[in-house]
Structure 1
Amino acid sequence: MEFQVLLLTLFLSTFVIFLLSFRRGRGRLPLGPWPWLPVIGHLHLLGPLVHQSLHRLSLRYGPFFSLYLGSVPCVVVSNPHYAKLFLQDNELAFSSRLESTAIKRLTYETSLAFSPYGPYWKFIKKLTFNELFGSRGTGRFSSLRVQEYDRLLTLIGVKARAGEAVNVTEELLKMTNTVISKMMIGESEEARDVIREVTKMFGEFNVADFVWVMKKLDVQGFGKRIEDLYQRFDSLVDRIITKREQARNKARGQGGGKHEGGERDFLDILLDIAADETSDVKINRVHMKGLVMDLFTAATDTLAVGIEWALVELINHPDLLKKARQEIDDVVGNQRLVEESDGPKLPFIQAVIKETFRLHPPVPLVVRRCTSESKIEDYVIPEDTVLMVNVWAMGRDPSLWESPMDFRPERFLKPMEENSSKGVLDVRGQHFQYLPFGTGRRMCSGLTLAMHEVPAVVAALIQCFDFQPVSPQGNKVAVVDTEERPGLTVPRAHELVCIPIARPICGPLHLV
């Protein structure tokens, strides 16, 4: 009986608090769905694919509406006008990202992607840009990426010669994981399975993050999953750091430098900073672990998913595939493999990648947390309100794009129709109807790497091979499905399995 009274008291008190906050908020926030439910708010309106759920709601409530996720107020934006107001005009108030329980635990609360905007974030942002993801860092590791591209093509070539199917999804993840692993720690470390589970969890809604009475109950089993992933990754990265520290100590003992010869990787740079007493920002082992997790996640799943979506769209559109290959033949010829440096001379390939990012953005939702009360037109956005900009929905808006559900790379080869002086749409966050990498201070740091790696791999794959897709049941199919599954990066629901068929270019390249 006492338990029932306690439960009823909790329910009624939550109901009253929620009602008061909801009614007070209606005069401050834009209108949103009705009805809401006590305790959970509007959580019942969201399915596993949150960006799709929010898109459906926007069709009814408009491009700017409010939600309550539990007792947490949220505003949802799905047009460029409001995206600009929040992410540019009021950028400072919305420069912090939302940190869920999973994010806090799995990134050690020290990551670049999710740390609050402040001195630490600025220091790490500058460091990763200079050493990894900017023009200098990208150029420094170009030969490493070429080696991994060649390994991928050779493996597929072997499968083509044997007439065997290849799991393209798995091989792309291996390649992108190896690239970022070698850039960061100087060796290949198989973390792709953990990383894919982490990105999936980051994209899921944990009710306990929004409903305070659920925090200790773990009704969805998130706590157990988070702890399991944490232990798996923590032991992996702890072993990596320990191994490097021992190697550096051995080199010192033999009169060498801080590391064993060769070019420094990112982990060496972090260890150097950790040992530097004069550094503006202090870096310790926990910071290193968080950054390794963060950058593994950012450059493994997102890049592999982008390459896969582009390949799927080309397989499904043979006329565009033919046009892309013709451009490669005209620029590169058939006596050498396409290279990253060919990218600027392959505008149609670049347009294919941009169109892929329109329909399948690397991250479908730009999520921010309001750090100070802000006025947006006639609305007042309270502190700690969650902002969700639905990039995925804007890419499908017929008022912004002609025939938005059609895959048309040509739309990125001509100036914007509404104002030709703005030039061709690009990926750098200057056109608010198209934000595949975000915009402003919190724009994705890996943009430069992505726009080198994704076009080069896609071009090399279609230059060397035809792909006969196979269904999950093992049957040959003419069209690859484009269903999505939950995740921070929204990968395809089913893995891409194909029988590769070598093209004439493979002969000179000795791929088969």
Structure 2
Amino acid sequence: MAPLITSNFVDYCFLFFIWIVSNLMVRFLIKTCTNSRATARNPPSPLALPIIGHLHLLSHSLPKSLQNLARRHGPLMQIRFGATTFIIASNAAVAREMLKTHDVDFASRFEFGPSNYNIYSGAGFVTCANSSYWRFMKKLCMTKLFAGPQLDRFNSIRVEEVEKLLKSLLKSSGEGEACDLEAELTTLTNNLMCRMALSKRCSADDATGAKEIRKLVVEIMQLAAKIGVNDVFGPLRKFDLFGHGKRLVEGLWRYDRFFEQIMKEYEDNMGGGAAGHGKEAADLMTIVLETYNDTNAEVKITRNQIKFFFIELFMASVDTLSAGIQWAMAEIINHPQVFKKLRDEINMAVGSSRLVKQSDVPNLPYLQAVVKESLRLHSPAPLIFRQSTKDCKINGFDVKAKTKTMINAYAIMRDPEYWNDPDEFIPERFLVNSDDNLGQHQMEIKGQDFRYLPFGGGRRGCIGGTHAVLVTQVTLGALIQCFDWKVKDGEKIDIKGASGFAGAMSLPLVCYPITRFDPFSATMKFPRNGA
């Protein structure tokens, strides 16, 4: 009898234990689901598939795909790329909430891509969080590196590089050959940025340094793009399936050795950080190294941070600036009435005895409008990346801390609620006396009006936007003043955007330049100071 009682007691104890555990689990699940439904209101989301998420809904043009999804699911939606979830903002009101009302909460960015293979991981400026380092470097950029006096100081470099571009095009014109404007403009912007950053290394007569830097940067960008796909499929990011990660690390180390040599040459010339080299020596590297050697600086920057700052600078400026000028030229060539109106304005304001220059731009409102309209349709940053730092509410929905966010500037700047004929190239919308605008003439590039965000907005807006516009305006003015343009193999340029995040053209811009005005044969010399 005793064994039977003992056996029953054990069975009852086991059943009682199971009951307690089951009860606790059920209570936990009910509480979790109830709290989740009661407190969390997530943005709407399309139907996702296992593993790939919403990738099946995206086309080769990511900004346009997200624009189409937003029309069905609202201006704030949740999208999953494989293992990574994003919220997407697609109208000006939501962008204002993120970039103004909650600007501090969205002042951080995330590193999108192969961070596992980045030897400078954690040293970024463009991709770093809203930290003391980022605030210090932004202050340095705004007060010294890209401030008005420094941009004025670089004007002679812009003049010389535009002059070299025109001479190359005049040669093609004289030989009756078509030119690849993409290649020509990429050379212009690459040499321009390299000379601004490293004038000692990339002189006007020897572009070896500029070519080597561009070669390394392009290789790094291509490899990063190839392995960036692994981030979409979470577990795969740990495996270097095709060896691209290894090659990326090798490319970064080659860049590191090359740039370390440049930095040491600068330090030797500076005499261990002594100032006094005058305006000619005040390129970006000189200013950064003076800050590096300043024992009283608010933040002590490292050599790795300097190296990665410059690689980010080249990645963010060279190809995007070139692409922006290409887009503007393509639109102007495809719209003869715009071409004629722009040339007439240049003729009236500048005349036919000298080349258009930077100081002429305030007297060329239509040129300014053409550049603004081109940037609206073809933003250098069609998607703006942010990451929330704390829980907040956006457009009535809950956004958790560390949520990755994309603001679709492409969709915002083509929103019919704010723009008449949003997909049409109409520079007149930016003219003060035009009837074809909704107040767009008042918009500037600094991202204060959230209907117009060609260079982002908020405290993480692009610091190089002013420089990019200056180069675009002067280059376009010279190309229109000096040449007529004939499209190779057709009357119009086939305007197609590249795939992915980029705002570049997918087809080469090949045209015949037909000389109309040769500034180098004129009696008045091309002024070097742009005055």
TM more than 0.5: yes
**Which of the residues 330, 354, 362 maps onto 2:372?**
354
Structure 2 match to 1:216: 238
How far does residue 194 in structure 1 lie from its aligned partner after superposition? 4.1
Give % identity: 35
Superposition RMSD in Å: 3.1
Is the CA contact (8 Å cut-off) linking 1:76 and 1:388 kept in structure 2? yes
1:55 aligns with 2:55: no
Per the TM alignment, residue 140 of structure 1 is displaced from its structure 2 partner at its CA by: 1.4
8 Å Cα contact 2:113/2:227 also seen in 1: no
1:426 maps onto 2:426 in alignment: no
Equivalent residue, structure 1, for 2:430? 412
- In the TM superposition, what is the alpha-carbon distance from 1:107 to its structure 2 partner? 5.9
From 390, 400, 423, the equivalent of 1:382 is 400
Q: Spell out the pairing of 1:91-106 with structure 2 (5 A cutoff).
A: 91-102=103-114, 105=118
1:73 to 43, 61, 85: 85
Secondary structure of 2:104's aligned partner = helix
Within-5 A mapping of 1:388-467: 388-414=406-432, 424-467=442-485
Q: Distance in 1 between matches of 2:441 and 2:363?
A: 18
AA matched with 2:389: T
Instruction: Provide the residue aligned with 2:181 in structure 1.
Output: 168
TM superposition shift of 1:422: 8.4
Deviates more, 1:130-139 or 1:345-354: 130-139
List gaps (5 residues or longer) in structure 1: 1-15, 471-475
Report the CA distance shift for 1:507/1:274 in structure 2 as closer, same or farther (over 3 A): closer
Matched residue count: 483
SS in 2 for 1:91: coil
User: What is the alpha-carbon distance in structure 1 between the residues aligned to residue 220 and residue 425 of structure 2?
Assistant: 30
2:391 to 358, 362, 373: 373
Q: Which moved more, 1:486-495 or 1:138-147?
A: 486-495
Task: Note if 1:152 corresponds to 2:168.
Answer: no
Question: Residues 342 and 366 of structure 2 are in contact (CA less than 8 Å); yes or no, is this contact kept in structure 1?
Answer: yes
TM-score, normalised relative to structure 1: 0.86
Q: Is 1:281 aligned to 2:293, yes or no?
A: no
Task: Tell me the equivalent position of 2:21.
Answer: none
Cα-to-partner distance string for 1:77-110 (whole Å, 9 max, x where unaligned): 1111111111111111111112124468276533
Partner amino acid for 1:134?
A
SS for the counterpart of 1:97 is: coil
Equivalent residue runs for 1:9-28 within 5 Å: 27-28=40-41
Quick one: distance in 2 between partners of 1:305 and 1:465?
20
Aligned position for 1:477: 490
Amino acid at match of 2:321: L
Q: Distance in 1 between matches of 2:246 and 2:49?
A: 27
1:329 paired with 2:342, answer: no
Unaligned runs of 5+ in 2: 1-28, 203-209, 526-531
State how far apart, in whole Å, the 2-side matches of 1:202 and 1:332 are. 45
1:201, 1:155 → 2: CA distance? 32
1:185 counterpart residue number: 198
CA contact (8 A) 2:356 2:478 kept: yes
**Aligned: 1:503 with 2:525:** no
Contact 1:131 1:137 in 2 (8 A): yes
- Once the two structures are overlaid, the 10-residue window that deviates more, 51-60 or 384-393, is 51-60
CA contact (8 A) 1:195 1:301 kept: no
Partner of 2:43: 30
Cα–Cα, structure 1 residues 106 and 403, in superposed 2: closer, same or farther, change >3 Å?
A: farther
Checking the alignment, whether the CA contact within 8 Å between 1:133 and 1:447 is kept in structure 2 is no
Q: CA deviation at 1:122?
A: 1.0
CA distance in 1, matches of 2:418, 2:42: 25
Q: Using a 3 Å threshold, how does the CA distance of structure 1 residues 454 and 196 change in structure 2: closer, same or farther?
A: farther
Q: CA offsets, 1:245-276, max 9 Å, x none?
A: 34335x99xxx867699432221222222222
1:212 Cα offset (Å): 3.0
Instruction: Report the more deviating stretch, 352-361 or 112-121.
Output: 112-121
Distance 1:220 1:394, change over 3 A: farther
Aligned to 1:492, what secondary structure does the other structure show? coil
Question: What is aligned with 1:113?
Answer: 126
User: Deviation at 1:283?
Assistant: 1.8
Query: 2:63 aligned with 1:41, yes or no?
Result: no
Q: Which moved more, 1:413-422 or 1:157-166?
A: 413-422
Structure 1 CA distance for aligned equivalents of residues 418 and 107 of structure 2: 26
Q: Which shows bigger deviation, 479-488 or 372-381?
A: 479-488
User: CA separation of 1:24/1:164 partners in 2, compared to 1, >3 Å: closer, same or farther?
Assistant: farther
Alignment of 1:237-386 (within 5 A): 237-249=259-271, 262-386=280-404
State the match for 2:16 in structure 1: none
* CA 490–421 in structure 1, closer or farther in 2 if over 3 Å, else same: closer
Whole-Å separation in 2 of the counterparts to 1:37 and 1:376: 26
- Residue in structure 1 matched with residue 6 of structure 2 by the alignment: none
| Cα distance change of structure 1 residues 314 and 262 upon mapping to structure 2, 3 Å threshold | closer
Q: Structure 1 residues 102, 327: CA separation in 2 closer, same or farther (over 3 Å shift)?
A: farther
Q: Judging changes above 3 Å, is the alpha-carbon distance between structure 1 residues 120 and 232 closer, same or farther for their aligned structure 2 residues?
A: same
Q: Secondary structure at the match of 1:138?
A: helix
Q: CA deviation at 1:400?
A: 2.2
Supply the distance in 2 between the matched residues of 1:235 and 1:495 (Cα, whole angstroms): 33
Q: Which amino acid aligns with 1:46?
A: L
- Give the structure 2 partner of residue 226 of structure 1: 248
Match of 1:12 in 2: none
Answer with 111-120 or 383-392: which moved more: 111-120
Query: How far apart, in 1, do the equivalents of 2:125 and 2:429 lie?
Result: 33
Code of the aligned partner of 2:230:
A
CA gap of 1:354–1:423, structure 2 versus 1, over 3 A, is closer
Cα deviation digits, residues 18-65 of structure 1 (max 9, x gap): x99xx869942111101x233332234334432122122112212221
Which structure has the larger Rg over C-alpha atoms?
Answer: 2
